[in-house]
Amino acid sequence: MEYFSREIGRLIGELSALPGIGNKSAQRLAFHILNLPKEDVKRLSDALVEARENVCYCRECQTLTDSELCPICSDEKRDHRTIMVVEDSRDMAAYEKTGEYRGVYHVLHGAISPMQGIGPDDIRLTELIQRLQHDVDEVIIATNSSLEGETTAMYISKLIKPTGIKTTRIASGVPVGGDLEYIDEVTLTRALLGRIEL
C-alpha cells in the first residue's frame, strides 16, 4: 500500500538513491524540503543544477572545480614539484584541513579494483603520468589503506619507478580499511610526516 502521494514518493525515491541515504533519511529530507519556503527550495534546486552544469575537472590535478584550475593548483605559493596522489576530492580536503601539506594533489577518482571491474584505465592515471613529464621531485601516494588502495599504490609506484622520481607512501597511523575523509587531522599529519620511500 502506498503511504505517500506520487510526487512525495518520487522525491523520496530520488533522495534515497543518493549514497548513504536510506529510505527513512530520504523521508526526513523530503518532508523537510516540502516544509521549506518555496524560495529556499528554488535556491537549493538552482544550486544543484548549476553545480552539475558548471563543475568540471581541474586541468592539472583533476579535482572538481568550477574553473580551469582549482584554487590549490592556481596558488603560486604551493610546491608544484611535490604531488600527493589521492583517491577522491574528499581525501584532498581531509589533508588540506591539517594545514601541514604545501604541495599539490592529483585526484584519481577511484582505485583499482578488479573485483568491481575497475582497472588502471578507469581512473585518472594517464593524467598523472603526463604531469610527471614536468619538474616533479616527489610523488606521495596517499590512497586509502584498503585492498584497493594498496593495489593502486603498488601499481602507481611501479609506473613511477623508472622515471627516477622519489615515490613515497603515507605512513601508518591511517587504519587499514579506513577512508581518509573520516580520519582526524592529527592522525593524517602523522601519516604525512612519517611517510616512507617505496
Is residue 100 domain-resident?
yes
* Res. 42 pLDDT band, cuts 50 70 90: very high
What are 85-144's pLDDT values in tens digits? 999 999 999 999 989 999 999 999 999 998 999 999 999 999 999 999 989 999 999 998
> Is 156 found in the same domain as 116?
yes
Q: Which of 177, 105, 186, 109 is nearest to 141 (CA)?
A: 105
Q: What is the DSSP string of 124-187?
A: THHHHHHHTTS---EEEE---SSHHHHHHHHHHHHHHGGGT-EEEEPPTTSPTT--GGGS-HHH
pTM: 0.78
> Is 181 found in the same domain as 106?
yes
Place of cell 577518482: 109
Is residue 69 domain-resident?
no
> Is 82 found in the same domain as 49?
no
% residues pLDDT > 90 (the chain): 74
> Is 47 found in the same domain as 141?
no
> Is 155 found in the same domain as 93?
yes
